[in-house]
């Protein structure tokens, strides 16, 4: 991106302008999920990778007499006078104050603080801007408190922020890949054991992120509905989670549970596809991986019913564009991004054709990004270097 000022410079400039140099800088990436959608909260398997878009937090301690303050370049400024106050759940700053609030519950506090936030992760585009924000904030606060937590503990804390503070009943995938991604690799995550197995992209392929430029609400009731359907199906099947159910068992479900049966069918087949996709990556078999991604889209569209006209159009157009090996919606669904596996030597043509085709069908200008699998969250050392 020509002339693009990196988020680390932007967060730092905002912090310096208001308060001087920060005590710590941290970054956490967004993610794109290659396959394994709506499986994480069913104790299943997912295969996401971190992307080359970061959220950066510049954080410093504040006087005890001043409120904790956050300034986001996207959302503006928010204050919290007393950290024991209830956090307003619908407010964007709940993601930030929620992290410090729950850390305090673990006996970890740096007292009053102030921070600035800059991000390149598009908000509401199914690329996990909220997990990137929470994970970057957690890394910065933990560092100032002299604590060092691993990716799993950090991700579990951030998932609790979503579940308990923001009111979004999401799974562990987004914070875990943001906190723990290995550069150059996607990760097969077992969402029960939280084991992460790095997988390389097949040689000669790249990942394209295709933004429909449609957006969803931050706390989406459809997400909670899907999760509740899965829990009802698991209860009826007498299993701890749909991870433990088998396809043939669904035949026993009564007609009045037809919706739950379809949701469960998606989850069971998606777990199988995700494990097969991880094997395909291990074998370097791009065609097999692409076919599994295509099948995943059909299942999300027809059985789980979380796609939508813009995502379906984008996936259709991707399939018809040069070099496409596989394409599907990614993330929670309804709006935001699709993901495609593309032959590297055709990637530029692919991007051009997708943009042309999508404009013709929707009248909107799609963004297409090619991303290598990026590194999970880290502290940014050498604040001075970025200040120079």
Residue numbers at the binding site for ligand GLA (CB under 6 A): 37-38, 40-41, 170-171, 173-174, 331-332
CB 60 within 8 Å of CB 115: yes
Q: Which of 174, 203, 211, 303 is catalytic?
A: 174
**What are the tokens at 307?**
């796609």
- Residue 22 CB, shortest distance to ligand GLA, in Å, is 28
173/289 Cα distance (integer angstroms): 20
Nearer to ligand GLA, 171 or 326 (CB): 171
- Residue 305 CB, shortest distance to ligand GLA, in Å, is 13
- Residue 331 CB, shortest distance to ligand GLA, in Å, is 5
Q: What is the DSSP letter of 67?
A: P
Nearer to ligand GLA, 94 or 170 (CB): 170
114/255 Cα distance (integer angstroms): 55
Catalytic: 81? no
Nearer to ligand GLA, 55 or 68 (CB): 55
Q: Which residues contact 230 (CB under 8 A, 6 or more apart)?
A: 38, 41, 42, 242, 260, 263, 264, 267
133/7 Cα distance (integer angstroms): 12
- Residue 173 CB, shortest distance to ligand GLA, in Å, is 5
Q: Which residues contact 373 (CB under 8 A, 6 or more apart)?
A: 49, 50, 51, 181, 182, 183, 184, 185, 186, 201, 207
Nearer to ligand GLA, 270 or 353 (CB): 270
Nearer to ligand GLA, 30 or 290 (CB): 30
Nearer to ligand GLA, 293 or 343 (CB): 293
- Residue 31 CB, shortest distance to ligand GLA, in Å, is 8
- Residue 163 CB, shortest distance to ligand GLA, in Å, is 10
Instruction: Reduce the DSSP state of residue 284 to 3 states and report it.
Output: coil
CB 322 within 8 Å of CB 300: no
E-only strand ranges, 217-318: none
Q: What are phi and psi of 17, to 5 degrees?
A: -65, -40
Burial of 364 (0-12, 13-18, 19+ CB in 10 A): middle
Nearest to 12 by CA among 94, 117, 97: 117
| Active-site residue list | 174
């Amino acid at each position: 991106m020509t002339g693009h000022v990196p988020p680390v410079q932007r967060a730092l400039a905002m912090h310096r302008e208001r308060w001087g140099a920060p005590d710590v800088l941290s970054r956490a990436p967004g993610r794109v999920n290659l396959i394994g959608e709506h499986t994480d909260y069913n104790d299943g398997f997912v295969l996401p990778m971190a992307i080359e878009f970061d959220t950066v937090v510049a954080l410093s301690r504040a006087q005890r007499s001043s409120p904790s303050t956050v300034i986001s370049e996207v959302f503006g400024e928010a204050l919290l006078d007393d950290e024991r106050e209830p956090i307003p759940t619908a407010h964007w700053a709940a993601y930030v104050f929620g992290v410090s609030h729950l850390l305090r519950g673990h006996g970890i506090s740096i007292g009053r603080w102030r921070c600035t936030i800059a991000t390149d992760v598009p908000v509401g585009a199914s690329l996990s801007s909220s997990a990137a924000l929470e994970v970057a904030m957690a890394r910065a606060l933990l560092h100032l408190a002299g604590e060092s937590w691993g990716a799993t503990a950090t991700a579990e804390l951030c998932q609790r922020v979503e579940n308990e503070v923001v009111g979004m009943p999401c799974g562990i995938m987004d914070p875990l890949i943001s906190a723990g991604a290995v550069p150059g690799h996607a990760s097969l995550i077992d969402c029960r054991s939280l084991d992460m197995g790095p997988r390389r992209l097949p040689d000669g392929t790249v990942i394209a992120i295709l933004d429909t430029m449609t957006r969803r609400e931050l706390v989406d009731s459809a997400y909670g509905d899907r999760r509740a359907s899965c829990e009802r199906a698991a209860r009826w099947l007498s299993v701890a989670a749909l991870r433990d159910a088998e396809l043939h068992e669904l035949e026993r479900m009564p007609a009045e549970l037809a919706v739950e049966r379809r949701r469960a069918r998606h989850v069971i087949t998606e777990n199988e596809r995700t494990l097969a996709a991880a094997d395909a990556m291990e074998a370097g078999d791009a065609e097999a991986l692409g076919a599994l991604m295509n099948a995943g889209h059909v299942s999300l569209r027809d059985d789980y019913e979380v796609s939508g006209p813009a995502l379906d159009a984008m996936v259709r157009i991707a399939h018809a564009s040069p070099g496409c090996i596989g394409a599907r919606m990614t993330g929670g669904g309804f709006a935001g991004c699709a993901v495609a596996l593309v032959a590297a030597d055709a990637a530029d043509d692919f991007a051009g054709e997708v943009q042309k085709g999508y404009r013709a069908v929707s009248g909107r200008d799609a963004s297409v990004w090619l991303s290598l699998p990026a590194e999970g969250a880290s502290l940014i050392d050498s604040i001075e270097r970025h200040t120079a």
